[in-house]
Amino acid sequence: MLQARAFYAMTNLFIHGGPSGKRVILINMDETPIQQSYPAQRGTIGVGRKRSLEPGLGIERLATTEKRGIITHVAFIAERVEIQQKMPQVFIASTKLVPRYVAEDIMPAMYPNTYLWRGTSSWMNEESMCRILRLLHASLRDELQNGYVVLSLDMAAPHVVDSVITLASELNIILLFIPAKLTWLLQPLDAHVFQSYKANLRSAYIRARCSSSSHYGILNKAQWLRSVFDACDKTFTNKDFSKAFQLTGLSGNQASMSSRIKAFVKAAENLPYAPTVPPLVELQFMAGRGVDIAWDIIFGTLKTLFTHALAAATLADRGGAAQEGSTPPSLAASSTTPGSTQWHQRAPRRLRSKTSLAPSLPLPHQTSTTTPGGASSSRDHQLHPAPMEAAALPHQELQSPSASSCPQ
């Protein structure tokens, strides 16, 4: 398909056209909802109304709040194991579903690099996406000295607003958007991780119910969240996800991607795809109808970050002929500077959301913070971090002077 071919051409450009001497850091991010209960299915006996022996026989009754209550897990995976160890796992919950006393109760059960953000809603929005980018940048502070980040993600509304793309550009994070309606096939998390993660969530939930002190095996919210954190740690901590990137073609060499994707995109024999900037028509087709992305900002970041030329139009003969200080031919051939007429004939896009997160960015490796009431806790930064304006940021690069368009 045209969207996939354009996507892989841009992927190879981001990976193989990077700065000389800097190693690419491939990361995939996606959100998934986590439900509060997993009602039993297999083995449950159901009887008709007229033949019911007892009221409710064969039916597992759940409260409405247990059926509807969900939290959002913003999951990260990296191609390399040493980077995966530093990947944050962020859970977004509403204050109604997870009150403060529940959050304080589960603090000892939270694993390293696990964060719980409480706000007015459990869904991702523009504000939380900006905070996640800052958190990712802070988590990879040491690696960014000798590398650069290519973050692949879908085209959900909070991901494609101008403030998010601008902040990513200021943090030198290259956003690689996966074509619309193809994440089930081309995104590593969707295609290779979330299925096992959901199975681990169900298993952890059942184990928690079996070990519950309740007569009916009912879990309170703290016990449920502990089972979620256990499943998250089992799925994402110190795991090797390089195979998921290879099979989806995000490793920079589409010759190793799965045969299912090759058949779906009708891949030619001369793989991998040439690293080029797709035409604007293909980019718009890749984004889908009604999605307006600031491509000028993304490719403007490439011109700033990439300091050497690609050796050739294909990956086979790249290397050796690159000249330092020059611009890749695929970038030089396209008018992609910020403000150019080719890319910037568009109105600024900003997502207006009625919901917002109460806490701000939880800084990694921060040992203690002060709560509004004056109390201090060693892990409280993962639950109720101080506002950005009042937080003492040890790394000035997190506060960009032009990041005011992004909600703080």
Q: Measured between alpha carbons, how far is 166 from 211 in angstroms, rounded to an integer?
A: 48
Tokens of 37: 């209960």
In the prediction, which pLDDT does 109 show?
Answer: 81
Spatial contact of 159 and 136, defined as CB atoms under 8 Å apart: no
Q: Measured between alpha carbons, how far is 91 from 362 in angstroms, rounded to an integer?
A: 12
b/e code 178-206 from CB counts within 10 Å (16+ = b): bbbebbebbbbbbbbbbeebbebbeebbe
Q: Of 114, 111, 92, 105, whose CA–CA distance to 222 is shortest?
A: 105
Tally Cβ neighbours within 10 Å of residue 247: 18
Q: Which residues contact 157 (CB under 8 A, 6 or more apart)?
A: 351
Find the largest Cα–Cα distance for the chain: 82
Show me where the domains of the chain are located. 2-38+58-362
In the prediction, which pLDDT does 406 show?
Answer: 65
Is 225 exposed, middle or buried, given 0-12, 13-18 or 19+ CB atoms closer than 10 A? buried
Q: Measured between alpha carbons, how far is 318 from 12 in angstroms, rounded to an integer?
A: 12
Q: Measured between alpha carbons, how far is 357 from 222 in angstroms, rounded to an integer?
A: 20
Tokens of 284: 């718009």
Tokens of 260: 């299912």
Question: For every residue of the chain, which 3-state class applies, written as one string?
Answer: CHHHHHHHHHHHHHHHCCCCCCEEEEEEEEEEEEECCCCCCCCCCCCCCCCCCCCCCCCCCCCHHHHHCEEEEEEEEECCHHHHCCCCEEEEEECCCCCHHHHHHCHHHCCCCEEEEEECCCCCCHHHHHHHHHHHHHHCCCHHHCEEEEEEECCCHHHCCHHHHHHHHHCCEEEEECCCCCHHHHCHHHHHHHHHHHHHHHHHHHHHHHCCCCCCCCCCHHHHHHHHHHHHHHHHCCCCCHHHHHHCCCCCCHHHCCHHHHHHHCCCCCCCCCCCCCCHHHHHHHHCCCCCCCHHHHHHHHHHHCCECCCCCCCCCCCCCCCECCCCHHHHCCCCCCCCCCCCCCCCCCCCCCCCECCCCCCCCCCCEECCCCCEECCHHHCCCCCCCCCCCCCHHHCCCCHHHCCC
For the chain (408 residues), the mean pLDDT of every run of 10, in chain order, is: 85 82 92 85 51 49 65 97 96 94 90 94 94 96 91 94 93 92 94 96 91 79 94 95 95 88 75 82 82 81 56 36 42 42 43 40 40 42 39 30 48
The backbone region for 83, taken as left when phi is positive above 0, alpha when psi lies in -120 to 50, beta otherwise, is: alpha
Q: Of 283, 22, 261, whose CA–CA distance to 176 is shortest?
A: 283
In the prediction, which pLDDT does 295 show?
Answer: 83
Spatial contact of 112 and 163, defined as CB atoms under 8 Å apart: no
The backbone region for 369, taken as left when phi is positive above 0, alpha when psi lies in -120 to 50, beta otherwise, is: beta
